[in-house]
């Protein structure tokens, strides 16, 4: 796994969009499947751009597996930085309802994130193209971040909204 290069960015954003197409958060911001397909690469590309600037965005060679990690001390996604990566377009891309729904979901998850005490790594997103799932690529991306956290003796944090994901992450510590 290597840091994502600018020429991999579009493929990496599409990978995250494909991986998150049925995620509850995506259903919150875009209830219509066509709208999710249209805004997914842009929306998740914003998270990717954030990680590329202030964290670690990593992928395999063809960017069919992608993870965005934020390091200790940088784990709160600031509104100013979100705007700097283009997420100020949120209401224009998602509509006012979608943007409000996202902000509400973000507000709810921030409460949980604030309970994490001390330095930690934050896994913002990890996704594998549906055609590549089940081959250990996602696990390798998680290992990339957890190895750094283990070496520093600090925890990792993530949010998820599905029982299936809880089982996946629990198996990987």
> Which residues of the chain fall short of a pLDDT of 50?
none
Which pairs from 19-28 meet CB under 8 Å and 24+ separation?
Answer: 19/66, 19/127, 19/128, 19/129, 19/130, 19/133, 20/44, 20/125, 20/127, 23/161, 23/162, 24/161, 24/162, 25/102, 25/105, 25/161, 28/101, 28/102, 28/105
**Per-residue pLDDT tens over the stretch 113-131:** 567 788 999 999 999 999 9
Q: Per DSSP, what are the bridge partners of residue 2?
A: 59
The pLDDT score that the predictor gives to residue 11 is 97
pLDDT value at residue 103: 73
For residue range 47-72, what is the model confidence (pLDDT) as tens digits? 999 999 999 999 999 999 999 999 99
């Amino acid at each position: 796994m290597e840091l994502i290069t600018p020429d991999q960015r579009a493929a990496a954003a599409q990978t995250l969009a494909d991986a998150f197409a049925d995620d509850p958060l995506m259903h919150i911001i875009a209830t219509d499947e066509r709208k999710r397909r249209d805004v997914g690469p842009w929306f998740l590309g914003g998270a990717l751009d954030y990680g590329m600037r202030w964290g670690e965005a990593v992928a395999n060679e063809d960017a069919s597996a992608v993870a965005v990690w934020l390091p200790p001390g940088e784990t709160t996604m600031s509104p100013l930085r979100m705007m700097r990566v283009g997420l100020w377009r949120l209401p224009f891309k998602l509509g006012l309802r979608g943007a409000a729904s996202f902000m509400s979901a973000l507000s709810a998850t921030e409460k949980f994130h604030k309970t994490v005490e001390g330095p930690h790594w934050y896994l913002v997103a990890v996704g594998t193209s549906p055609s590549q799932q089940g081959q250990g690529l996602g696990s390798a991306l998680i290992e990339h971040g957890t190895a750094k956290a283990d070496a520093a003796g600090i925890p990792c944090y993530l949010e998820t909204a599905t029982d299936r994901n809880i089982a996946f992450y629990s198996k990987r510590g």
